[in-house]
């Protein structure tokens, strides 16, 4: 009897929890923020972002890479021989085997600069030391937010000089439009994979444990009821 009761409990808990969490409007995650920028920028360039990640050349690792988490995905930024590449890590469950969901850089004219952005292209697209690219995933063309490259144009006339001096700044922002549709599913996945945004790991573990416990019990109960000799 206790097993049947736990079975009903597990089903009710999983269905209600997933249903209610999926029903939370994504706009409740905040009204947006004003990114911290190092040099003054045209406000139009940094408008419309719900959440952002800022970094500069000095933040890059010894391999000229920078990793961060944004919009429930882990991102890898690489500076390779004067070119820039950006992609989201593709996980197989919780493991990452080096696969990236690479992004294309689309300039303000709508021209795709491909997944490898050169300094010459940045110089051509930039105005007064700043340029905004729209990011699109290469695989499915979905919106991946905006990417801004900026530097102090009074000190460095070209981005190449700023790169040499490690004085180039980057901003990856995600707007409400690019977070709205996939958030319900990615929020649940983030919860289960211990990658809930802005959530301490221990709290995430406490939240995920009942769900895992219910799922494991359900699997055990179904197998047990299916096999009469167990």
Partner 1 sequence: MSLEDIPSNFADYLGINETTAQLLLSLVVIMTLLLPTMVLAKGKNAVTIWLIVTFLGECIVLGLGWLPFWIMIMTIAITVLGIAFVSSGAISGG
> Residues interacting with partner 1, by CB under 8 A?
1, 4-6, 8-10, 12-13, 16-17, 20-21, 24, 27-31, 191, 196-199, 203-204, 206-207, 210
Nearer to partner 1, 100 or 207 (CB): 207
Tokens 């992609």, located at residue: 87
Residue among 29 and 65 whose Cβ is closer to partner 1 = 29
**Pairs from 149-156 (Cβ < 8 Å, separation ≥ 24):** 149/84, 149/122, 150/37, 150/38, 150/39, 150/41, 150/45, 151/39, 152/39, 153/128, 153/129, 154/129, 156/129
Residue (of 63, 32, 58, 42) closest to 177 by Cα position: 32
Q: Give the C-alpha distances (Å, rounded to integers) separating 21 from 3, 13, 73, 189.
A: 27, 12, 19, 11
Q: Residue 173 CB, nearest distance to partner 1 (Å)?
A: 16
CB of 131 to partner 1, least distance (A): 29
Please, which residue, 27 or 128, has the CB nearer to partner 1? 27
Question: Are the C-beta atoms of residues 83 and 116 closer than 8 Å to each other?
Answer: yes
Q: How far is the CB of 44 from partner 1 (least distance, A)?
A: 20
- Minimum distance from CB of 37 to partner 1 (Å)? 18
Residue 3 phi, psi dihedral angles, 5° rounding: -70, -40
Instruction: Measure the CA–CA gap between 167 and 24, rounded to whole angstroms.
Output: 41
83 token code pair:
């070119």
Cα(124)–Cα(96) distance, rounded to whole angstroms?
35
Closest to partner 1 by CB, 155 vs 203, is 203
Which of residues 29 and 39 has its CB atom nearest to partner 1 in the complex?
29
Distance of closest approach, residue 4 Cβ to partner 1, in angstroms: 5
Locate all alpha helices (DSSP H) within 88-152, ordered by sequence: 119-125
Q: Which is nearer to partner 1, 31 or 92 (CB)?
A: 31
CB of 29 to partner 1, least distance (A): 5
- Nearer to partner 1 among residue 155 and residue 205 (C-beta): 205
- Spatial separation of the C-alpha atoms in residues 195 and 151, rounded to whole Å: 32
- Closest separation in Å from C-beta 84 to partner 1: 31
């Amino acid at each position: 009897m206790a097993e049947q009761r736990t079975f009903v409990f597990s089903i009710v808990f999983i269905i209600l929890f997933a249903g209610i969490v999926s029903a939370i409007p994504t706009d409740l995650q905040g009204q947006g923020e004003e990114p911290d920028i190092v040099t003054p920028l045209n406000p139009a360039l940094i408008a419309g972002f719900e959440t952002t990640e800022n970094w500069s050349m000095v933040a890059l690792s010894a391999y000229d890479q920078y990793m961060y988490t944004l919009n429930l995905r882990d991102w890898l930024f690489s500076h390779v021989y004067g070119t820039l590449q950006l992609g989201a890590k593709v996980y197989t469950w919780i493991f990452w085997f080096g696969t990236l969901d690479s992004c294309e850089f689309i300039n303000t004219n709508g021209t795709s600069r491909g997944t490898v952005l050169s300094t010459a292209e940045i110089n051509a697209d930039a105005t007064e030391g700043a340029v905004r690219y729209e990011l699109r995933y290469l695989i499915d063309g979905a919106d991946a937010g905006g990417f801004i490259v900026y530097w102090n144009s009074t000190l460095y006339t070209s981005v190449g000089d700023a790169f040499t001096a490690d004085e180039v700044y980057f901003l990856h922002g995600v707007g409400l439009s690019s977070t709205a549709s996939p958030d319900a599913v990615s929020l649940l996945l983030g919860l289960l994979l211990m990658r809930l945004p802005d959530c301490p790991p221990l709290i995430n573990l406490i939240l995920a444990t009942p769900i895992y416990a219910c799922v494991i019990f359900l699997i055990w109960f179904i197998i047990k009821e299916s096999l009469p000799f167990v």
